Amino acid sequence: MKTTKWVSAGWAAGTVGSSTLLGAMSLLVLFYLTEYLGIPPAVAGTLIFISRLWDIGATLLIGQWSDRTQSRWGRRVPFLVIGAPLAALAYAMLFAAPESLSGLSLEAYVLVALLLYATGYTIFVVPYLTIPAEITTHTHQRTTMMSYRVAFMTVAGLNIAVLGPILIGAFGGGRTGYAGMGMVQGVIVLAFMWGCAAAMVRAPVIPYVAQPRSGFFAPLKIAFRNKPFVIFITVKFFQLFAGASTTTALLYLARYILDQDESFLIRFGLLQTIGTLVSIPLWAYLARRYGKRNAYMGAGFLYALIALSWLTTALGEASWITDIRLFAVGFGAAGLMVVGFSILPDTMEHNTKTSGISQEGTLAALYSMVEKGTAALGPLIAGFLLQASGFISAAGGELPPEQPQSAIVAILVLVAVIPATCNIVGSLLLTQFDLKETTTDP
């Protein structure tokens, strides 16, 4: 069964909303909490981690619930419709913390906003990830769908990294600027998520074998017997943690090593987007020509080298060298996303073939748990590492006179050493991955 380009593009457009939410959590939230709300790094990282623990617990429930849902809109669309406004509202709420709050009351407000943020994201994204496995049986068409998705992810990246700083400045900067940004981007998140839901209402779906009523853990046992899926999500754990570590520390790198403010995100967003867009066709070709596993491994090793190059920033470098690196980040990330995302629905199809049961929601939930777990660990580890290094927070946006050298080292570990190590480990794990039997293209 094949699907049309319009349906593929309509599905992919939903990632503008979900990737804005995920990207903002990695790139902006810890920095906003420490530098503008004055929350200590370790406390801010812990608040994010707590919200993600709740999120991880809810993920499996949403996945299994969507597997068993029957409605005139199908199994997944009702969740897309409900999750979108909740996520958009929480996004605006998080960046609009009242200035009258401080101390424990401020931290409680932030935690509530983070919990709502996580819940809305989960209700949308878990069913969303199952859709490619349900609308086409052609593995290379899934690669094409993921190419569309990565292209729309660059739009989300521009929304955060380019439009975000512009909006912060337009609304007056500081906390007021962040509040204005949150409201505008919340509307963008809602529009793209609901647009995706509208596109999926009429999309043809492959007939599925309903999951029988069983205990909570029975679907998990089936999923963990799926060796390709287990290897895949293990690899993604390392890759996603690498990404979370980099993006969490990026603004600290810009401010305290490159002597830049939030406007650095505009440069980062534009150059990364160009690198991503120009390389998407190449990575899709390499996946078809040399196989998904080999292309995926190559992307991992390449990204590790790019990550290590951030170490040179401590010695000072010309602006054009930084620009080349930012372009290269987009180039390498495109390979990890285009090929990696296309493998997930392949493992879902393999699961259905070997078990005789359609439980895409459960597998999507497990993948999402890994995604959210790394998104939680990134700020948590960054917060504690910065705190232990003697990092001085610029509460309210006022720069401290100077960071201790140990804090500079901690920032470089977060943006270079951890991401490189994780991508090397992930690529080596892929030597055990084999999914030839799921290639159903004619």
Cβ burial, residue 172 (10 Å; 0-12/13-18/19+): exposed
User: How far, in Å, CA of 39 to CA of 30, rounded?
Assistant: 9
Does 367 map to a domain?
A: yes
Whole-number Å distance between alpha carbons of 367 and 344 = 8
Q: What is the pLDDT of residue 275?
A: 92
Domain total in the chain: 1
Pairwise CA distance, residues 381 & 92, whole Å: 25
Parts of the chain with a pLDDT under 50: 207, 209, 437-442
Q: pTM (2 decimals)?
A: 0.70
Ranges of H-type helices in 257-356: 264-290, 292-308, 319-355
Q: Note whether 393 and 40 are within 8 A (CB).
A: yes
Is 211 inside any structural domain? no
Looking at residue 205, its pLDDT comes to: 58
* 208 domain-assigned: no
Residue 191 domain-assigned? yes
209 in a structural domain: no
The structure tokens listed for 106 are 């401020």
58 within some domain: yes
Alpha helix stretches (DSSP H) within 102-256: 103-135, 139-158, 164-170, 174-201, 218-224, 227-256
CATH of the domain at 304: 1.20.1250.20
Domain range for 118 is: 5-203+219-438
Q: Which pair of structure tokens corresponds to residue 440?
A: 């159903």
Tell me, yes or no, whether 214 lies in a domain. Answer: no
Token pair of 189 as six digits:
């998140």
